[in-house]
Amino acid sequence: MKTKAIFLASVLLVGCQTSKLGTQLPIQHAQSLSSASVENEARKYIDSNQEKLGRLTKGKDSLSQPNLWHFVSSELKMKFQDNSLIREQKIKYLKNKSDLHHVIARANPYMYLIVSEIQRRSMPMELILVPIVESAFDPSATSGAGAAGLWQFVPSTGLHYGLKQNRWYDGRLDIVASTKAALDLMENLNRRFDGDWLLTLAAYNSGAGRVNKAISANRRQGKSTNFWELSLPRETSIYVPKMLALSHIIKNHKQHNFKLPNTDKRHGLARVDIGRQMKLSRVAEMSGLSLAQLKFYNAGYKLDVTAPNGPHYIVLPEDNARHFKNSLAEAKFMVPQPARLVKNNPNAESVLQYKVRQGDTLSTIAKRFNIDPYDLQNWNNLTTSDFLKVGQTLKTGSRQVGEDNIPNEFRVTARRPSIESQECTNST
Through-space distance between the first and last CA atoms of the chain, rounded to whole angstroms:
37
- DSSP assignment letter at 202: H
**Is a pLDDT exceeding 60 seen at residue 340?**
no
* Catalytic residue check, 187: no
Residues for the chain: how many in total? 428
What is the structure's pLDDT at 361? 81
Fold designation for 337-428: Membrane-bound Lytic Murein Transglycosylase D; Chain A (3.10.350)
The rounded distance, in Å, linking the Cα atoms of 150 and 315 is 15
Q: Tell me, letter by letter, the H, E, C secondary structure of 130-181.
A: HHHHHHCCCCCCECCCCCECCCCECHHHHHHCCCCECCCEEHHHCHHHHHHH
The rounded distance, in Å, linking the Cα atoms of 180 and 172 is 10
User: For residues 32 and 156, is the Cβ–Cβ distance under 8 A?
Assistant: no
CATH architecture of 38-251: Orthogonal Bundle (1.10)
**Is a pLDDT exceeding 50 seen at residue 170?**
yes
What is the structure's pLDDT at 265? 84
What is the structure's pLDDT at 111? 92
Residue 67 neighbours by CB distance under 10 Å: 14
Distance of CA 41 to the CA centre of its chain: 13
Strands (E), 175-304: 269-273
DSSP sequence for 45-71: H----HHHHH-SBTTB-GGGSS-HHHH
What is the structure's pLDDT at 26? 36
Q: Domain coordinates of the chain in residue numbers?
A: 38-251, 272-334, 337-428
> 195: phi > 0 → left, psi -120 to 50 → alpha, else beta; which?
left
Tell me what the pLDDT averaged over the chain comes to: 77
Express each pLDDT in 269-282 by its tens digit: 999 999 888 999 99
Express each pLDDT in 173-188 by its tens digit: 999 999 999 999 999 9
Q: Which of 75, 126, 134, 423 is catalytic?
A: 134
What is the structure's pLDDT at 188? 98
Express each pLDDT in 305-321 by its tens digit: 999 888 999 999 999 99
Express each pLDDT in 204-242 by its tens digit: 999 999 999 999 999 999 999 999 999 999 999 999 999
* Selected residue with higher pLDDT from 18 and 62: 62
Residue 131 neighbours by CB distance under 10 Å: 26
Q: How far is CA 340 from CA 139, 352, 391, 392, 395, in A?
A: 47, 10, 20, 18, 10
